[in-house]
Amino acid sequence: MSTGGTVRDLRETAHAAQVRELVAAGALEDPDWRAAFAAVPRHLFVPWFWTGRGAGHERLWGEDPDPELRARWLRGVYADAPLATRLRDGELVSSSSQPSLMAKMLEALQVRDGDNVLEIGAGTGYNAALLCHRLGEDLVTTVDLEEEITESARAHLALLGYRPTVVTGDGARGCPSRAPFDRILVTCTLPLIPHAWLGQCRPGARILAPLSTGLIALRVRDPDFAEGRFLHTSAYFVPLRGATASPHPVGTTGPLHGVPYDLVENERFQFLLILTAGVLHPREALDLWRREDRPARERFGVTVTDGGQWSWLDDPQGPYVWPLGEPAEQV
């Protein structure tokens, strides 16, 4: 067997193993998405990635002359983990999301045959390829801020013969020329929902987006109203860059005065802190956390109107309602 054949076999074996693992973990319950993940190999979209942190970043790539480094690259590509695919001055600019999270988000998007989908954050193009397999390339539009990223995504997609609409632009503005959309899938963390998206959606459209450290699923009623709840799944993405850059970076809540040490790193408590940053002081958030019996993400929701945006606990008309997008207050 030739060396090229051996490498190809290893990649195909690793790809098949990843799909089996995602199915076994319950991340791919929908047979249509199982077929998409089986048809779209991740290694074509991640020809290289970086490991490590700060100055210690190491670049691994699939054509490295060192067979051990190539093997590390392949193991990384088909691990159920996010991968840093583009850095600038040591800071993460773009990544390939954790495959199990991608699968959960695609299933939660609840697409139907014929749905027109807008993806915010093209990244490597891997997610767009999965959408193309499921829906057809004519129904997929993906947007990213930088031409370097969109050119790379377009090239990766072409390797599998997919040619969706790939747009270089500010994702916060959507893509009016391709509207109306039935679904909007967001792969970057938001400080609030860009209002422009609602006007580009059909009534009943679904928007799935990372907000705080969770995933909000909104149903669009009309250009001036959308509402929905968070999924139980946690989600960590590169922040949206462009017109609606966050007024308080995700994870920044100020000093946590009065918060017990064991809660400082508690994922669900951090979700509440970030969601209410600039509105509740950490001590107030802690009182609410205890009073409401440590509420899970799915008890929270978001309402978007032409007059503002709010997060809420249990009921949008209830006692716990907070404005989104407020500047963080240092306490």
pTM for the full predicted model: 0.91
Judged against a pLDDT cut of 90, whether residue 92 lies above it is answered with: no
Domain boundaries, the chain: 3-234, 261-323
Nearest to 226 by CA among 154, 305, 295: 305
One of 3.30.470.10, 3.40.50.150, 3.30.1370.60, 3.40.50.300 is the CATH number of 3-234, namely 3.40.50.150
Mean pLDDT of 24-32: 95
The predicted-structure confidence for 235-276, as pLDDT tens digits, reads as follows 988 888 775 544 444 444 455 666 887 787 789 999 999 999
CA 194/CA 260 separation, integer angstroms: 35
Q: Are 216 and 230 in contact (CB under 8 A)?
A: yes
| High-pLDDT (> 70) share of the chain, % | 90
Known catalytic residue at 94? yes
Q: Please count the residues of the chain.
A: 331
> Is the model's pLDDT at 330 over the cut of 50?
no
Q: Could you tell me where the DSSP H helices lie in 78-160?
A: 99-108, 126-135, 147-158
Q: What residues contact 242, with CB distance under 8 A and at least 6 apart?
A: 145, 170, 171, 172, 173
CA pair distance 321, 324, nearest whole angstrom: 10
Region 11-31 average pLDDT: 96
When pLDDT is averaged across residues 175-181 and rounded to a whole number, the result is 97
Q: Whole-angstrom Cα distance, residue 112 to residue 107?
A: 11
**Mean pLDDT calculated for residue range 197-224:** 97
Active-site entry in 2, 94, 152, 311 = 94
Is residue 194 predicted with pLDDT exceeding 80?
A: yes
19 φ, ψ to 5°? Answer: -60, -45
Parallel, antiparallel, or unpaired for β 300-305 and 225-234? antiparallel
Which residue, among 275, 190, 277, has the nearest Cα to 238 in the 3D structure? Answer: 190
